[in-house]
């Protein structure tokens, strides 16, 4: 079954959505949409499809859409599409307002539509494999650093731009609730936080330290999970996973530690994400990352920003 699809916003990320949907066996890419006509025409030509400059014209012509417009437009675009019975995958962050997120969730449920949030790291092969080894963590360290690369992100800070990936992963790994947190930030190149450090405390006593920066010269994206008898190391960028476990109770040297490197399915994470979305639309099943889950991540991110110390 082919789903009639469209991608709204075909800039730095959206054009990758269009590339995959134009080739995917479950999708028939009907349109790409962008307010920049030259961009829309160029991406449409590359992917052998049609273009539009106004998403309103999609009504009655597609069944599902990817929303990859700037974050401040997510709510209005998604609400319009849901009200016209179009399934939606909304890029992260879902919204920047918890009430808007709640309304989109209500509309999707009332109209029995798939509403999925594009937290692509959830489909990173290293994350998919790592979840099988996570067992009651005691301490988690997360670092997501990178250069300031695009003026389009001026409207949101590093928490909603970068750290939100890791907040979602922690929701995925941790079954316990966050009971308190500390948050610190600094403005360097923009009017929002460009560096942020957050410490989350969970109900089971686990501590998670998160660092996010967009003023680093190189990308560095890793998460380390420490738990009884084992240590899990994940490199997001290299899609690498290592599991360190004790061979015996008392450790005398490195030879007493077993290092496992699980074999990973190294397909593009965006392919997995879009395949999951299309499958959900076809089967009418709940998304792996539902609008409600996306709302919970946004709520935590907004709470962090409201209490951040500069």
How sure is the predictor about 48, in pLDDT bands with cuts at 50, 70 and 90? very high
Token digits of residue 142: 């997360």
Sequence-ordered alpha helix ranges (H) in 24-73: 37-46
CATH of the domain at 275: 3.40.50.720
CATH of the domain at 178: 3.30.360.10
Number of C-beta neighbours around residue 16 at 10 A: 19
CA gap 115, 105 in Å, rounded: 7
Per-residue pLDDT at 150 = 60
- 181-206 residues labelled b (16+ CB within 10 A) or e (exposed): bebebeeeebebbbbbbbebbbeeeb
Residues 181/198, Cβ–Cβ less than 8 Å: yes
- More confident site: 57 or 254: 57
Q: Do 263 and 274 sit in the same domain of this protein?
A: no
Token digits of residue 34: 């962008």
Per-residue pLDDT at 98 = 96
Q: Domain tally for the chain?
A: 2
In a domain, 78, yes or no: yes
17-32 confidence digits (pLDDT tens): 999 999 999 999 999 9
Residues 126/241, Cβ–Cβ less than 8 Å: yes
131-190 confidence digits (pLDDT tens): 999 999 999 999 999 887 665 556 789 999 999 999 999 999 998 999 999 999 999 988
Residue found under tokens 């988690």? 140
75-98 confidence digits (pLDDT tens): 999 999 999 999 999 999 999 999
In a domain, 294, yes or no: no
Per-residue pLDDT at 256 = 74
Token digits of residue 238: 């290299």
Whole-angstrom Cα Rg for the chain: 20
In a domain, 232, yes or no: yes
Determine how β-strand 139-145 pairs with β-strand 64-67. unpaired
Q: Do 74 and 146 sit in the same domain of this protein?
A: no
The pair phi, psi for residue 60, each rounded to 5°, is 80, 0
The boundaries of the domain holding residue 33 are: 3-119+269-289
Tell me the mean pLDDT in the region 234-255: 85
CA gap 142, 174 in Å, rounded: 14
Q: Do 158 and 246 sit in the same domain of this protein?
A: yes
* Of 4-8, 55-59, 113-117, 151-155, the least confident: 151-155
Token digits of residue 169: 């992963």
Q: Do 111 and 59 sit in the same domain of this protein?
A: yes
Per-residue pLDDT at 268 = 92
pLDDT at residue 200 greater than cutoff 60:
yes
pLDDT at residue 249 greater than cutoff 90:
no
Q: Do 128 and 230 sit in the same domain of this protein?
A: yes
How sure is the predictor about 217, in pLDDT bands with cuts at 50, 70 and 90? confident
Q: Do 190 and 285 sit in the same domain of this protein?
A: no
* C-alpha angle 235-174-258 in degrees, rounded to nearest 5: 50
Q: Do 137 and 206 sit in the same domain of this protein?
A: yes
Q: Helices (H), strands (E): how many in the chain?
A: 9, 14
97-137 confidence digits (pLDDT tens): 999 999 999 999 999 999 999 999 999 999 999 999 999 99
In a domain, 295, yes or no: no
Q: Do 156 and 98 sit in the same domain of this protein?
A: no
Token digits of residue 100: 């808007």
Q: Do 172 and 256 sit in the same domain of this protein?
A: yes
């Amino acid at each position: 079954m082919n789903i009639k699809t469209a991608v709204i916003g075909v800039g730095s990320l959206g054009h990758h959505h269009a590339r995959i949907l134009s080739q995917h066996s479950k999708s028939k890419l009907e349109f790409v949409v962008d307010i920049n006509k030259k961009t829309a025409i160029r991406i449409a030509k590359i992917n052998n499809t049609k273009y539009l400059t106004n998403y309103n014209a999609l009504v009655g012509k597609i069944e599902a859409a990817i929303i990859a417009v700037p974050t401040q437009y997510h709510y209005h675009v998604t609400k319009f599409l849901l009200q016209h019975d179009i399934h939606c995958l909304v890029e992260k962050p879902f919204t920047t307002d918890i009430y808007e997120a709640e309304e989109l969730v209500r509309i999707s449920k009332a109209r029995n539509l798939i509403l999925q949030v594009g937290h692509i790291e959830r489909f990173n092969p290293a994350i998919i494999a790592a979840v099988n080894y996570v067992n009651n963590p005691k301490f988690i360290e997360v670092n997501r650093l990178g250069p300031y690369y695009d003026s389009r992100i001026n409207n949101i800070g590093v928490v909603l731009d970068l750290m939100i990936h890791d907040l979602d992963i922690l929701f995925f790994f941790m079954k316990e609730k966050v009971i308190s947190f500390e948050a610190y930030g600094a403005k360097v190149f923009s009017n929002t936080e460009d560096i942020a450090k957050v410490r989350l405390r969970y109900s089971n006593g686990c501590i998670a330290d998160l660092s996010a920066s967009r003023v680093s010269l190189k990308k560095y994206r890793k998460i380390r999970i420490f738990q009884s008898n084992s240590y899990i190391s994940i490199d997001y960028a290299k899609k690498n996973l290592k599991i360190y476990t004790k061979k015996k109770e008392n450790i005398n040297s490195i030879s007493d530690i077993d290092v496992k490197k699980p074999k990973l399915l190294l397909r593009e994470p965006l392919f997995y994400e879009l395949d999951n979305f299309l499958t959900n639309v076809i089967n009418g099943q709940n998304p792996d990352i539902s609008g409600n889950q996306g709302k919970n991540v946004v709520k935590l991110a907004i709470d962090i920003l409201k209490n951040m110390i500069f």
